[in-house]
Structure 1
Amino acid sequence: MSKLLHISASPRGSDSESLRIAEVFVDAYRQAHPDDEIEHWDLWDGSLPNFAVGAKAKMTVFAGGEPRGAEGEAWAAARRTFERFDSADRLLFSVPMWNASIPYVLKQLIDVVSQPGWIFGFDAVTGYTHLLAGRGKKVAVVYTSAVWAPGLGPEFGGNFQSPYFTDWLQWTGLTDIAEIRFHPTVTGDRAAERALADTRARDIAKEF
């Protein structure tokens, strides 16, 4: 039995296209994999720890020390967040575009879980080791935007959303990645684009 963890980065509820498409994916996944566990992690629910002290703890670990006191508590909170993230072998992310990039709450998750010994190892000669590689994990990402779209000129913005997030996923060792996109633009045919995104979401979910 597998576990699907849907990590959502939109606070817009029923108005969110990324959440709506993710729900289509989850419904199709549930039908195709009725015995699997499914969990939804809303990153806006307050569960992500503040990492101001944790950042100090990270450097303590980098230097070969052990975080103690307030640093130790912050490190333990980060570890619990990582363990929740790492508990699933199937990951679904719903990621709206905010200011050409990702919502800050998703960046907060990345900064909290991306720690030495958990996500990566490091050697001064050989560089990074990708610690989530080779574990059979699969990732699906729903990318949405309202203005930017492939093929439009720079006057409609740029895309630092999917290049950044894909780079991070691959850096962790997660390379089995499927993308579902909804970029109708301001004047596009939203109904047709929704239908295409929903079909792709269902197709991927069935084999995920």
Structure 2
Amino acid sequence: MEKIMYIIASPRGANSKAKALSDAYLKKLKSKNPNIVIETIELWDENLPDFDADKAAAKMTFFGEGQMNDKKKSVWKSVVEITERFMNADHYVFAVPMWNGGLPYRLKQYIDIITQPGISFNFDPEKGYLGLLKNKKATVFYTSGVFSQGVDPKYGIDFQSTYFNWWLQMIGIKNIEEVRFQPTILTKNPKKDFEEALTKARELV
């Protein structure tokens, strides 16, 4: 039975275009395959721990800096639990709006929690990063208010998908599909463009 983890990075609820697109995709997917299991993570409702000095110190023990003592093991436990929950899915669906050229900070916080050595990736001085997630898929819905691909830099630069797609591959997710609704404000035909994005979302199924 396929398990989908649906991660919503927008706090805007029903007003989020990224969420609307991903909702349409999942609705179509569920109609085609009623047996899939969907677990939803609303990042703005999740109790995400701060990745503070203690957790950073625990992480660095994997790189030979210090020892994993009882205190570090205790704070590391919550990181491992959140990361393993993420890794238990087969397919990831992300609703990702652009904030100031990049990602919403709650999504970045989540990434910083679950991107851990020996769990989601390994590192080799010769080979670089080695993702540990195998046979996974990601479907990403990108939106932005002003930026769109190919625009003059005065309208923004994409640190959203460039970073996020790199991160997915870094942890081992190579099968990545995406739908974009960019821009959502400056487009001349917002309703028409959004309907086209909805069609693309459903066609992915």
Q: What interval of TM-score do these two structures reach, taking the shorter chain for normalisation? A: over 0.9
Q: Where has structure 1 moved over 4 Å in runs of 4 or more?
A: none
TM-score computed with the length of structure 1 as normaliser: 0.92
Please tell me whether residue 83 in structure 1 is matched to residue 84 in structure 2: yes
| Residue in structure 1 matched with residue 159 of structure 2 by the alignment | 160
Q: Distance in 2 between matches of 1:185 and 1:115?
A: 34
- Which residue identity does 1:183 align to in structure 2? Q
Distance 1:60 1:187 in 2: 48
**C-alpha distance in structure 2 between counterparts of 1:55 and 1:61, whole Å:** 11
CA-based RMSD of the aligned residues comes to 1.5
1:106 paired to 2:107: yes
Give 2:41's aligned amino acid: W
8 Å CA contact 1:149, 1:185 repeated in 2: no
1:148 aligns to what? 147
- Secondary structure of the residue aligned to 1:98 is coil
SS, match of residue 54 in structure 1: helix
Change (3 A) 1:185 1:9: closer
User: What is the CA-CA distance between 1:185 and the residue it aligns to?
Assistant: 4.7
Which segment is superposed worse, 64-73 or 91-100?
64-73
**Bigger CA drift: 180-189 or 26-35?**
180-189
* Residue aligning to 1:170: 169
The count of aligned residue pairs is 203
* 2-structure distance, mates of 1:187, 1:108: 29
Tell me by how many angstroms 1:70 deviates: 3.5
Identity %: 41
Out of 120-129 and 5-14, give the one that drifted further.
120-129
1:13 has 2:9 as partner = no
The alignment's TM-score, normalised by the length of structure 2, stands at 0.93
CA displacement, residues 142-173 of structure 1 (integer Å, 9 cap, x when unaligned): 00001111232111111110000001111111
Residue 131 of structure 2 contacts residue 171 of structure 2 at CA under 8 Å; is this kept in 1? yes
41-50 vs 140-149, which deviates more?
41-50
